[in-house]
Amino acid sequence: MPTAYPKASPTEMMGLLVLLNSHKGAEDVALLADDLDLEIDEILPSLEFAEILDLVKVTDGRVVFSDLGKHLVQGTIRERKTILRDQLKRTTLFRTLLRALESAPEHCLSDEELGQIVSLTTAPAEEAVQNIVNWGRYADLFRYDTDHRRLVLVHRPATARSGANRPPPSGGSASSAGGATSKTGRSDPAGSDPAARASGLASVTA
């Protein structure tokens, strides 16, 4: 089964969530796109991944914060990273990556091994790998050793996870799917995916 992967960078998704917060946590997708001077298709990747992480809900072309999303945007940088780290761990892709890192010698994965895992997704490997690495680094899940060209697990003391009793996010969004990547705040490449958009965002793009 294909695994979900981020089609937007951390900067893009966080920027969109901060904008949504300025709209009191609920707004039409089209109006958010207008505020960013972008086409709707260009903000869909950020919306999709935010919904996969249970930070927002998109219904009939309108996006609304979940309680977790509200907590994230109101938190400190450290609190935001903790929430994102916990939510990423609940997705199929990052859960698979972390298990592979935990069982690997020296808790490292070579570029080739990382590429093999990403190949299980529908992502164009070369474009997606860098963005996946950027998300893992942003959330302090792992780091990238440029000298040896390998992914390295970040070790940290075990702590209680705030969302431990919630079911894990699904491998895809019920309301949105990948498209072109936003042109704002673009600090790292993001993959694209031809998956069809479902009900929540379909009404916007109709």
Which tens digit of pLDDT belongs to each residue from 4-49? 678 899 999 999 999 999 999 999 999 999 999 999 999 999 999 9
In a domain, 174, yes or no: yes
Do both 140 and 83 map to the same domain? yes
Helix spans in the chain (H): 10-22, 29-35, 40-52, 67-74, 77-88, 92-103, 111-118, 125-138, 199-205
Domain of residue 30 covers 10-73+170-205
- The predicted structure's pLDDT at residue 6: 84
Give the C-alpha separation, 76 to 97, whole Å. Answer: 27
Section 108-121 average pLDDT: 84
To which residue do tokens 């990403």 refer?
A: 118
The pair of structure tokens assigned to 174 is 């019920």
Residues 82, 149 within the same domain: yes
81 and 144 fall within a common domain: yes
CATH, residue 18? 1.10.10
More confident call, 188 vs 1: 188
Residue holding tokens 């993001």? 190
Residues 196 and 130 in one domain: no
Is the pLDDT at 195 greater than 50, yes or no? no
The answer to whether residue 158 sits within a structural domain is no
Give the pTM. 0.71
Residue 179 lies in a domain: yes
